[in-house]
Structure 1
Amino acid sequence: MMKELKEILQTILKEKKGYLTFLTGAGISAESGLPTYRSIDGILIKGTKYHRPEEFGTYRYFSQNQEEVWQYNLFWKNMIEEAKPNAGHFAITEIEKLLGERFKLITQNVDGLHQRSGTRKVYEIHGSKQKVRCSKGCSEPFDFPENIQAKEYTEDLTPDDIDDLKCKKCGNWLRPHTLWFDESYNEKYYHFDTAYHIADNTDILFVVGTSGSTALPINIVETVKIRAKWIVLINPDNDTHFDYILRGSKTLCSIQESSSVALPQLKRIIEEILK
């Protein structure tokens, strides 16, 4: 499969036209120790202490239970801080350097590991747990306040935590800068229009570590498929929704490997072609 992929890339890189786009999901960060959402030990299976995230991870729930939601998010903050970028993240960073303006990265991940590995241009279509914004919309997203510490899940918020998690402009609660289940994609926060523009101009799309369970990633893949451009699935599991909707496609390559194995190989192939 890598030999076939090299031949495809030789043609695409020679033409010097469209983007080489990466669409990444929770699978690439699983190798850094962060649970995926839909695996057997994932967030959607285990849920929270009392609820499944389809209920818990909503603006409606947050508006009634701000302290509980923040307690959970500070626990996630703890996991993210302990995680480190892996070989897959670093390979993407090196590919960005090789491809320059033709490189695009769209990620469903909210953990910031792509940025921590050195990737410069990242389109986070589900937001970022590294940022917060006013829950009533009076502020643009800004970096997580440094004085608010990560917590274990059983730790309660302190009065100082609660004060620091209130908007300094209007006094309402801050919220995580992430897309909740009862919210819609938009350009302002989640690069909705930009993602479609990238898909419309992509010559080869690498779909890495994502099963195809949310709307915008599915539409990105469908857009590239309709344009009869190449799609490369990189995932140890070959029974995802993307495998299903792309079955029989003449412009599909499937690499049944982990991202930490496949992406360094891909980086080396691109290096060889561009020498």
Structure 2
Amino acid sequence: MESLQSILNTIIKEKQGYITFLTGAGISAESGLPTYRSIDGTWIKGTKYHRPEEFGTLKYFKQEPEEVWQYNLFWKKLIQEAKPNTGHFALTEIEELLGDRFRLITQNIDGLHQRAGVKKVYEIHGNKQKVRCSKECNGPIDFPAQVKQKEYVEDLTQEDIDGLKCTECGSWLRPHTLWFDECYNEKYYYFDTAYDIADHTDILFVIGTSGSTSLPVNIVETVKIRAKHIVIINPENDTYFHAVLKGYKTLNSMQESSSSALPKLSSLFKEIIHS
């Protein structure tokens, strides 16, 4: 199999398409944020009260908005306490090296890529640091400053409730994230943009994602159909992407954590670009 260095050398010096990175919860797990679908993740264990597929829906939010917000304010606390790791910072370095050819599509909703300094980020599942009106009369907007993070057992105060109401119509604000009973769209989740990026990608790095949601899978499939290069960076070797890409001639794999692999990749890009 052709070495990754040789592939990158050709792509950087002879091609014109995007060099795209698709990130999932694995990169944020290394900053201490729990994942949904890993063996010890929230998807498997659920919470004290419900499983994600139950409370992570627009339907449930309409029934129990305070309970959903109680959980999301706990997540707000986890996100604020988390810090970007070496993998996040390596992607910032790679963006600086690649310039306009760099694209980052992320399933993550924590904003850690932006906090690390990445500029060209497309959040296909939204961002928990943003809210929007549940009746769609405004948003996304920054999280209301008067609404504070919570421990999971803490109830909402009246100040919290008031701060989580739309200033235009008085309806509940909702987290700016894609719920399990909602569909991707371009307005909030870069649906068309993600496909366009995939269609013009020369090499795709799939980082810390298991392939359990439809748009990331379709991004990989689009790149695969175009017979372009795909690199999987994941300490596990039995994800959906490994299965669907088995035998794919232009597949490379780095079976290690993103915080280990991405700094190496940044150094490799630097070596090629400055050679």
- For the aligned pair, the TM-score class normalised by the smaller chain equals over 0.9
Give structure 2 stretches of 5+ with no counterpart.
none
Which secondary structure does the structure 2 equivalent of 1:105 belong to?
Answer: strand
Q: CA deviation at 1:43?
A: 1.1
Q: Deviations over 1:112-170 (max 9, x none)?
A: 00000000110000000010000000002001011111000000000110000000000
Residues 109-128 of structure 1 aligned to structure 2 (within 5 Å) = 109-128=108-127
Q: What residue is the counterpart of 2:183 in the other structure?
A: 184
Query: C-alpha separation between the residues in 1 aligned to 2:123 and 2:48?
Result: 27
RMSD: 0.9
Structure 1 residue 48: deviation in Å? 2.1
Shift of 1:16: 3.8
Which 4+ runs in 1 deviate beyond 2 A? Answer: none
Which amino acid in the other structure matches residue 130 of structure 2? K
What residue in structure 1 maps to residue 170 of structure 2? Answer: 171
User: Partner of 1:10 in structure 2?
Assistant: 9
Deviation at 1:100, TM superposition (A): 0.4
| SS at 2:3 equivalent | helix
SS in 2 for 1:205: strand
2:56 matched to which residue of 1? 57
Where does structure 1 lack aligned partners over 5 or more consecutive residues?
A: none
Deviation digits for residues 49-71 of structure 1 (CA, Å, limit 9, x no counterpart): 22111111000000000000000
SS at the partner of 2:247? coil
Contact 2:19 2:101 in 1 (8 A): yes
For 1:230-260, what per-residue CA distance to the aligned partner results, in whole angstroms no more than 9, with x for missing partners? 0000000000000000000001001101000
Give the Cα–Cα distance (whole angstroms) in 1 for the partners of residues 39 and 157 of structure 2: 33
Determine the structure 1 residue equivalent to 2:268.
Answer: 269
Range 205-214 or range 3-12, more displaced: 3-12
The Cα of 1:29 is off from its aligned counterpart by 0.5
Q: TM-score, normalised by structure 1?
A: 0.98
CA distance in 1, matches of 2:214, 2:148: 33
Q: CA deviation at 1:46?
A: 1.9
Q: Deviations over 1:18-61 (max 9, x none)?
A: 00000000000000000111112211012122211111100000
C-alpha distance in 2, partners of 1:34/1:92? 18
Task: Describe the SS at the equivalent of 1:97.
Answer: helix
Aligned ranges for residues 115-264 of structure 1 at < 5 Å?
Answer: 115-264=114-263
Rounded to whole Å, the distance in 1 between the matches of 2:248 and 2:270 is 28
Tell whether the 8 Å contact from 2:15 to 2:202 is kept in structure 1 after alignment.
no
Q: Distance in 2 between the 1:75 and 1:46 partners?
A: 17
